[in-house]
Structures are given as C-alpha cells and as structure tokens.
Amino acid sequence: MDFYYHPCSAPCRSVIMTAKALGVDLNMKLLKVMDGEQLKPEFVKLNPQHCIPTLVDDGFSIWESRAILTYLVEKYGADDSLYPSDPQKKAVVNQRLYFDMGTLFQSFVEAIYPQIRNKQPADPEAMQKVDSAFGHLDTFLEDQEYVAGDCLTVADIALLASVSTFEVVDFDIAQYPNVARWYENAKEVTPGWEENWDGVQLIKKLVQERNE
C-alpha cells in the first residue's frame, strides 16, 4: 500500500496513527510538497486533486484523509471498533470527523497557518473561531473519555492529529478541561502518537529556522 505524505501535515499523521492501530503496513512515500513535488505528472495521475495524504491500495487511489481513515478500517479492521458499523454509532463518528474538518481544523487553517506561514500576528476574529471550536469539542467530551462514544475511534485519531498541531504556537489547551483530559489520555492510548508528535516538532523547527 503506497502512502504519499508529509510529516508536517496533520491529516497525513492521522492516517499513519490509524494504520498503526490496525497493524497495516504503509509503504511510505514522502512527497516534498514545499518543493511542489505533488504537481509532478506521475502524482497528478494518481490524484488529480494533487493533495496529500493519498493512499494507493493495489491500484485503487484514494485521498481526503478522513475518507482514507474509514476506508482502512472498513477494509482491514479485524473488528469495527475504530469505525462502528451500527448506523447511529457511526453517525456520531462521522459527525465528529466533519466537525474536525469543517470547524476545528478549519479554524487552524484560518487562525494559525497565517501565523506560522507568513509571520502574521494572531487575528482576533480568527482566534475566536479557534476558541469556539475548542469550546464545542469540550462540550462533546463532557462525561466522555472518547470523542464519539466509549472507545477509541478514528474520530479521536483525526482530532488528536489536529489538536496536537495547535501546539506549534503554544496554544493553551488547558483552557478547555475536558479537551485537556481527553488529550492526555488519547496521547497514551493512540498507537503512533510519537510519530505524530515528531511531525508537530518538525513544523516548530522549520518555523524557527525560517524566522532566524
């Protein structure tokens, strides 16, 4: 299974952790997106949207990280615990995945990217979106150990990749006690956390080097 990725990308890291949880071996293919490698014809042929992560499973090419997560569990999971087949349990996992993409990670894109990419100061309006997203996640986690029910699912893994990436700007997660509690536990129980954290540290290092 070929996996096109970059360690700085949170969505890529969510796939790496999920594959590890499933015991699926990925043939890791680093794509230097900062150098435009994703625009090479051989990659555009695999994924016309030329984004990462992209997975090619025996000729079947798929992208969008959250679609890859559910594909891996449906195809290779020994059981359905990471992505339940019960329609209601699955609906909650899907809701959290869409929340991760459209709300939480989107707030990162709007508020944090400009800070680390272009050294812009934090925009209060955009930071308010971050606060609102973390506030909602905090509510979801009230009296819950995991984000979508009583066991670890791909929703936890996707959100773990996103939430940890906020640490590149020393964002204070402790303001959201339920998120902080969930985060500490998720770090311990999610396979591949260390590799995810290496990716976050790499972003920090690249930003520091550029700013020096």
Partner 1 sequence: MLDFYYMLYSAPCRSILMTARALGLELNKKQVDLDAGEHLKPEFVKINPQHTIPTLVDDGFAIWESRAILIYLAEKYDKDGSLYPKDPQQRAVINQRLFFDLSTLYQSYVYYYYPQLFEDVKKPADPENLKKIDDAFAMFNTLLKGQQYAALNKLTLADFALLATVSTFEISEYDFGKYPEVVRWYENAKKVIPGWEENWEGCEYYKKLYLGAILNKQ
Shortest distance, position 173 Cβ to partner 1, whole Å: 19
100 vs 193, beta carbon nearer partner 1: 100
Chain center to CA of 179: 16
Shortest distance, position 52 Cβ to partner 1, whole Å: 14
63 vs 183, beta carbon nearer partner 1: 63
Shortest distance, position 64 Cβ to partner 1, whole Å: 4
Select which of 9, 65, 107, 164 is catalytic: 9
Residues 6+ apart with CB under 8 A from 172: none
86 vs 195, beta carbon nearer partner 1: 86
User: What is the total residue count of the chain?
Assistant: 212
Among the listed residues 155, 157, 163, 95, the one whose alpha carbon sits nearest the alpha carbon of residue 133: 163
Residues 6+ apart with CB under 8 A from 7: 13, 30, 195, 198, 199, 202
Name the site residues for partner 1 (rule: CB under 8 A).
Answer: 48-49, 60, 62-64, 66-68, 70-71, 74-75, 87-88, 90-92, 94-95, 97-99, 101-103, 106, 136, 139-140
Shortest distance, position 194 Cβ to partner 1, whole Å: 27
Q: What is the full DSSP assignment across 144-189?
A: -SBTTBSS--HHHHHHHHHHHHGGGGT--GGGSHHHHHHHHHHHHH
140 vs 193, beta carbon nearer partner 1: 140
Residue 164 bears catalytic tag: no
Asked if 158 and 66 touch (Cβ cutoff 8 Å), the reply is: yes
Which single residue is written with the structure tokens 């150098």? 35
Known catalytic residues are 9
